[in-house]
Every structure is written in C-alpha cells, then in structure tokens.
A = this chain, B = another copy of it.
C-alpha cells in the first residue's frame, strides 16, 4: 500500500513535468515600430504642446531619403491609426503609397484651436457658452503649426516639402479653413466629417467667397461624412452643399473627392475615411515606375 502511494506520487510528479513541458511557453513584450512624443513650448500659443511623431522604418536605401509629412489633428484619437496605415500601405509588398512621416498633434484646448471664429452657438443654433466661450483660435493654431511646429519637424526629421493636413470634426473645419486662408501651407487637405454647422455655416459661406482656382492649383482635397443624424441630417446636407459649391466653381487642377458613409457613425467613420483619403491622395503613386 505504501509503495503504491509512493509510486502514485512519483507518477503524479512525472505527469506534471510532462504537462508543464507541453505547455512550455515564453512571453515577452511586443515591439511596435517606434514613435516619439515631442513636447515643445509654443510662444504663439503660450503653452507647451505635445506632438507624436512616427517615421518610416529606414532601410539602407533610405538613409538619405526624405519623406512627405502628414500633420494630423486630434492626435490622441487617430495618430496610431494613421501611422499604421502609412507603414502598411508603403510596404514593398503592398506598395500603395510612399513612406511618409506622421505628426499627430495632441490637444490642449481643442475648441479654441480648431474653430475659425468666436461663436457660442451649438449645432442646433442654441447658445452654449460653457463649451464654446474660448472658440475662434484657429488662426493662432495655424500660426503655431506654420512658424513653430513645421520648422521644428523639418529640422529634426528627414522631411521633404510635400505636406498633408488631416482632421476630423472640428479638425475637418480646421483643414478646410486652412485651405481657404493659407492654401500654400499644405499640398493636400483631409476633412473627415467637418462640422460645417459651425457659426451659422461660416465655412460654407467662406468656401463660396474665397475658393479660387489660383489659390488651390495642384492641391488635393478629401471630405466626407457618416450617418450623423440620419440621411436627412444637417451634417449630410452641409457636405452635399460643400460638394456642389466646389463643383460649381470648376476649379482648375483642384483634385477633390467627396465620400459619404451612410453606415458609419461620427466616430467609426474616421477609420475608413482616413484610409480612403490616403488611397485618393496617392492614387497616382507608383504608376510611372
């Protein structure tokens, strides 16, 4: 009896050892392609700003190569997404766009920075001073990008002059406002579901007034909306109005694309819209090679 208990014990230990070996495993941290967080002091905005920077993985052929830069608003929402699209779509076996640098701008006072006018009206036209009191700082924010951020990025990374400006919602408002007021800052503009309701359709009026062939020669523009408020929503109507305003002008050499995603919400749409925007902007890429 004792011997059999003894044998049983050893058998159990042996069994556990074999079982352990079968499950032998080793765990380590997954390494993402590296990105950087750069904190800079902005004198224009009088505050520290954080930006996220993702550079292409360089191989020996890239050592002296320079890359286009995509500047992205709402960096905390969509920086990882854009960095990954850029990496994946520029892989040699995918080859849908060039390698680019992605700069994601983190927010401090989002409404202040991403709205072109001071207005306290919400999308229903009702006053909401607690949310919108500080609005109207977009020109300052664009000056920060132009005079402080861009020189820093150009100094620190292997940039080429080609630049894209991308934003969602209020970020889309900023992209269009930038194209209207400082068209030469960027070569391509992406406005995913821009909040065209802002300040009594301010941007729609400005587009009608200001958009001229001369200022947007050889520029590209992508804009879109999801199902915000259903198919009869003001969001969709505004985008259709923007689209017809642009179409009517018959602008020479402004290459633009409008996409409507009826099954996507305001927050799911950026995933597919940013992908389509990159595909649009780089549609000719690689064709002459």
Binding site for B on A (CB under 8 A): 21-30, 32, 34-41, 43, 52-54, 80-81, 84-85, 88-89, 91, 93-96, 148, 152, 263-265, 267-268, 271-272, 275-276, 279
Check if A37 sits within 8 Å of B43, measured CB to CB. Answer: no
Does B265 contact A25, Cβ atoms closer than 8 Å? no
Contact A265 B26 (CB under 8 A): no
A30-B52 in contact (CB<8A):
yes
Contact of A24 among B41, B89, B264 (CB under 8 A): B41
A217 vs B265: C-alpha distance in the bound complex, in angstroms?
30
How many angstroms from the CA of A186 to the CA of B157 in the assembled complex?
46
| Inter-chain contacts of A95 with B (CB < 8 A) | 267
Residue of B nearest to A26 (CB): B39
> What CA separation (Å) do A23 and B152 show in the bound complex?
8
Cβ contact within 8 Å between A22 and B37? no
Copies of the chain in the assembly = 2
Q: Provide the bound-state CA to CA distance between A43 and B52, in Å.
A: 43
Given A32-B32, A81-B88, answer yes or no on A25-B152 (Cβ-Cβ < 8 Å). yes
Give A81 to B32 CA distance when docked, in angstroms.
12
For A39, the closest partner residue in chain B by CB is B26
Q: How far does the Cβ of A263 sit from chain B's closest Cβ, in whole Å?
A: 7
CA–CA, A264 and B96, complex, Å: 10
Complex: how many Å from CA A26 to CA B49? 10
Shortest CB–CB separation between residue A76 and chain B, in angstroms? Answer: 11
Smallest CB gap from A40: residue in B: B25
CA distance A72 to B38 in the complex (A): 34
Tell me the complex Cα distance, A271–B274, Å.
Answer: 11
Residues of B near A38 (CB, < 8 A) are: 25-27
Known contacts: A84-B84, A275-B271. The answer to whether A37 contacts B27 by CB under 8 A is yes
Most buried by B among A32, A52, A263: A32
Given contacts A30-B36, A89-B268, 15 further A-B contacts (CB under 8 A): A22-B148, A23-B40, A24-B41, A25-B39, A27-B39, A28-B36, A29-B36, A29-B37, A30-B34, A30-B37, A30-B52, A81-B84, A85-B271, A94-B267, A275-B275
Alpha-carbon gap, A39 to B52, bound state (A) = 31
Listed A/B pairs (13) with beta-carbon separation below 8 Å: A22-B41, A24-B41, A25-B152, A26-B38, A26-B39, A27-B36, A27-B39, A28-B36, A29-B35, A30-B37, A30-B54, A81-B88, A93-B267
